[in-house]
Structure 1
Amino acid sequence: MYQNHTIKIYNSLTGEKEVFKPINAGHIGMYVCGPTVYSNVHLGNVRTFMSFDMIFRYLKHLGYKVRYVRNITDAGHLENDADVGEDKITKKARLEEIEPMEIVQRYTVDFHNVLDQFNFLPPSIEPTATGHIIEQIELISTIIDNGFAYEVNGSVYFDVHKYNETNNYGILSKRKLEDLIHNTRALDGQSDKRNPQDFALWKKAEPTHIMRWASPWSDGFPGWHLECTAMSTKYLGEQFDIHGGGMDLKFPHHECEIAQNQAAKGKSPVNYWMHANMLELNGARMSKSTGNTINPAELLSGENTIMSKAYAPSVVRFFMMQSSYRSILDLTDDGLLASEKGFYRLMEAIKYSNDLNVCNTSSFNVLDWKQRCYDAMDDDFNTPILIATLFEASKFINQIKDGSASITAEDLEILKATLHTFTFDVLGLEDTAKSETGTDKLNGAVEILINLRKEARINKDFVLSDKIRDELAAVGITLKDGREGTTFTTN
């Protein structure tokens, strides 16, 4: 199936949409930088991982064999993404007076639980930094042997200036080394580095540092940037197709990954760099210090002071899919409320599609509509256009139901299959009417009230009829009267 599709991907390396050509026909290697497991997963990170989950789903749907690697950072990530300070996991462990690996376990479990709630597919491989110390030490040794790193007092640093003599440090972020030098403050006692722009490949552990490993240079721990180079190339090869992550990782993390691979292997590791954009909250950056923040659990439970109510995971996912992964997305209560209505309208149309009457003609070009669904996704995974196209089908289904449009049996099967594929398999949405606990009982109770209202109307007791309708509406249940009878939706 993929042979019939020309996918275009916006490549952050070139700043252009490019026709996607895998290194090996029919096979795709994709690496996405995973979480540093020292706290509950941030909602902005959820959006990034959700974007690549959608991409993973679509590529698999097209028939590609995708090896999707998403790592767990469980060591080596220092405060403020710097080469000095305390390891984020060690710091959290010290504050809570428990072992660092207890922190790792707690927040890895939380990470998986949150992603399960949003219906993520698991990656093909989920390696950890601590599980690949040997590979990282070997990579450092190669970089030193190639003349692009140096050891000082047990720590090893990447020589950015030496590297830039024959390569381009800044090729991804479009930053120039000269500008970085100009904007860099004094070293403030960091005398181990030859230049402020150099970054750590291995850090000698201080006596109080708990997470440490033996190496040829010292007992210490690897640099944060190194782990992704080691793990991505181990499982995907020295060159692979797609590397993804959040926009905030473009520099320095991804820039350093390119430099490390180029220094060790003599080649750039990735053909297509993809970056998901930021998630804002009510028009401003999320920040714990200002109180402008909300985590996934608070959003789904409604236990917060920012949103008016709780939102189902698929509603949140639908909201996020209504924006391009490359666009800044503003999370607001109004936006979620609108998405909730749209989500249930789509679910309702899919439910109706199972009970439509067919005839000998179709008043809707189903094959053209199906192609436009694929065209949207082939154009850099344009989920906003895809969703707009799905709503065209939703409108058509309602027209068939009302008798103002018609469809053949063959076209109906294509319509239903395509709706199911893109709504559930590609966008990863779930029909909450099927999955929410207690829904069957709710449906039964509402049906009883609908029948009581019907009897009241037959008996011309319109006061009771209106009372049932209005009181259901007050608790978020809307009744709709049509030719087929009365149906309801939940808001």
Structure 2
Amino acid sequence: MKLYEQQELHIYNSLSKKKEKFTPIHEGAIGMYVCGPTVYSNVHMGNCRTFLSFDLVFRYFKHLGYKVRYVRNITDAGHLENDGESGDDPILKKARLERIEPMEVVQKYTVDFHTTMEKFNALPPSIEPTATGHIIEQIDIVKTIISEGFAYVKNGSVYFDVVKFNEAHDYGKLSGRKLEDMITNTRELAAQSEKKNPQDFALWKKAEPQHIMRWPSPWSDGFPGWHLECTAMSTKYLGHQFDIHGGGMDLKFPHHECEIAQAEASNKQSPVNVWMHANMLTLNGKKMSKSTGNNILPNELISGNNDILSKAYPATVAKFFMFQAQYRSILDFSDEALAASEKGFYRLMDSFRSIDSISTSEKSSFDVTSWRQACYNAMNDDFNSPILIAHLFEASKQINAFKEGTESITEEDLKLLQKTMHDFLFDVLGLVDTTHETGDDSSKLNGAIELLIELRNQARANKDFSTSDRIRDELQEVGIHLKDGKEGTTYSLN
């Protein structure tokens, strides 16, 4: 019997707005599509949270024994600001700014994205298609939507007729918005001449003479709209109806709403059974955003070269921190929270490594089987990682009690405990025991540096500036930079 046959999984469906028992379309197999990055800049930690949330989902499905086809796209064309009414593709903007080819921008930041995901030990998707690699499929969908009467051509561009579509369908059912309210609340824009209605969105845009990224089509030399690529690639690799579509909460409207409309208009059926949305990561209580500058990049976190955190943190610690909140919850990223997570992370790793040193008994005082099922129950309840982690900490306390001899465990139960902890720590959560693999115990390094900082502070208090300067300079030579501030001395690693 497969493990998934023993577990009953419930997932919160953004479409029905409730938790539902999950039953895949095809027994034992799951099709999952997740909106990937638009590759015009480095991914920040807020972006990483979304992708790590779905890495957790992917890993758990695989752990349960499902065959999973996980498709996550790369947006390398067509991501229009304001749906093309004003502004431009951000990749094209970056290419102009740096005076390089758009595909150089795409290559640079695609590589950065992959490198970053590797640092967080995220599994690669089964298929990673690009928008530019599926222009023909997108054109074919536009042709179909036009033939069905839900799109119109204007000056070489093609727009989806939202009002016409809503007459026979329910535009807004995912986001909960009503088209009548959208129409009432929409102000007329100066550049609305091409659209019949302000709510209509671009399926294909005619390229201006200066627009570098362009492809021939029946309507004009141009490029596809942003929403179209995900409809084309998800249905190509997963079929006209598939199990799960995921992405960030910010994509629910208009991107995912438009995906549903396009798929229903062209395929005459709802494309996805379960819609999942990961919530945002805030930074010191404010939304993390590239545009406002209130963000932190993964490399800045790992190296410590930033003005936000007091020290460097391993990627796996940041990942562990993010999993201490359920994926649908807003999570605030702060120095204090990361420091607390780091201590908890090393405590769990120390406990797991010490299992081999435990002496067994003829009886167990800890019900390992019930505890193991509690771990599964947490993940079966909409991938509730914080509850899972709480159960892992419970096991950590028990391990300490076994070592001290105040609790007992049989050899069989100990093996089950060890396997279960391994499965959830490394296979499901995808954490990395950095102390075990590299021998570089970050918690001990942190303690050593803090001791040197304390000795330096004592030297400065005693006006022994030669010793104080020597500690600072010699640490700097090995890549440890001290920073003196109002709150005291912190450090970063290079």
Q: Which amino acid aligns with 1:417?
A: K
Deviations 1:408-436 (A, max 9, x none): 00000000000000000000000010334
Matches within 5 A, 1:304-343: 304-343=306-345
Unpaired runs of at least 5, structure 2? 449-474, 476-494
| Gap change, CA 1:81 and 1:38, over 3 Å in 2 | farther
Partners of 1:353 and 1:280 in 2: how far apart? 37
Contact in 2 for aligned 1:148/1:159 (Cα 8 Å): yes
Helix, strand or coil at the partner of 2:361: coil
Q: Which amino acid aligns with 2:214?
A: R
| Gap change, CA 1:433 and 1:5, over 3 Å in 2 | same
Q: Would you say 1:367 and 2:369 are equivalent positions?
A: yes
Partners of 2:290 and 2:267 in 1: how far apart? 41
Contact in 2 for aligned 1:7/1:380 (Cα 8 Å): yes
Shift of 1:45: 1.0
Deviations 1:148-193 (A, max 9, x none): 0000110000000000000000010000001111111113132111
Matches within 5 A, 1:276-315: 276-288=278-290, 290-315=292-317
Matched with 1:122 is: 124
Partners of 2:291 and 2:54 in 1: how far apart? 29
Matched with 1:397 is: 399
Shift of 1:285: 1.2
Deviations 1:67-114 (A, max 9, x none): 000000000002355543211111100110000000000000000000
Q: Which amino acid aligns with 1:411?
A: D
Contact in 2 for aligned 1:201/1:223 (Cα 8 Å): yes
| Gap change, CA 1:80 and 1:152, over 3 Å in 2 | closer
Q: Would you say 1:12 and 2:26 are equivalent positions?
A: no
Matched with 1:55 is: 57
Matched with 2:149 is: 147
Partners of 2:413 and 2:286 in 1: how far apart? 46
Matched with 2:193 is: 191
Matched with 1:480 is: none
Matched with 1:264 is: 266
Unpaired runs of at least 5, structure 1? 447-474, 476-491
Contact in 2 for aligned 1:40/1:110 (Cα 8 Å): yes
Contact in 2 for aligned 1:245/1:275 (Cα 8 Å): yes
Matched with 2:430 is: 428
Contact in 1 for aligned 2:231/2:262 (Cα 8 Å): yes
The one of 370, 381, 384 aligned to 2:383: 381
Partners of 1:351 and 1:326 in 2: how far apart? 32
| Gap change, CA 1:438 and 1:429, over 3 Å in 2 | closer
TM-score by length of 2: 0.88
Partners of 1:119 and 1:167 in 2: how far apart? 42
| Gap change, CA 1:2 and 1:209, over 3 Å in 2 | same
TM-score by length of 1: 0.89
Partners of 1:187 and 1:238 in 2: how far apart? 35
Contact in 1 for aligned 2:83/2:201 (Cα 8 Å): no
Matched with 2:488 is: none
Helix, strand or coil at the partner of 2:245: strand
Contact in 2 for aligned 1:308/1:333 (Cα 8 Å): yes
RMSD: 1.6
Contact in 2 for aligned 1:361/1:406 (Cα 8 Å): yes
Q: Which amino acid aligns with 1:189?
A: A
- Number of paired residues? 445
Matched with 1:240 is: 242
Contact in 1 for aligned 2:81/2:88 (Cα 8 Å): yes
- Runs of 4+ more than 3 Å apart: 80-84, 287-291, 435-440
Shift of 1:124: 0.2
Contact in 1 for aligned 2:434/2:440 (Cα 8 Å): no
Partners of 1:110 and 1:386 in 2: how far apart? 31
Partners of 2:204 and 2:147 in 1: how far apart? 15
Seq. identity, %: 68
Deviations 1:251-310 (A, max 9, x none): 000000000000001001000000000100011112456542211111111101111100
Helix, strand or coil at the partner of 2:71: strand
Partners of 1:435 and 1:201 in 2: how far apart? 49
Partners of 2:157 and 2:44 in 1: how far apart? 32
Partners of 2:427 and 2:409 in 1: how far apart? 24
Contact in 2 for aligned 1:83/1:200 (Cα 8 Å): no
| Gap change, CA 1:373 and 1:81, over 3 Å in 2 | farther
The one of 13, 21, 24 aligned to 1:22: 24
Shift of 1:125: 0.2
Q: Which amino acid aligns with 2:283?
A: L
Deviations 1:327-385 (A, max 9, x none): 00000111000000000000000011111111101110000000100010001001010
| Gap change, CA 1:366 and 1:257, over 3 Å in 2 | same
Instruction: Tell which deviates more after alignment, 203-212 or 189-198.
Output: 189-198
Q: Would you say 1:46 and 2:44 are equivalent positions?
A: no
Helix, strand or coil at the partner of 1:234: helix
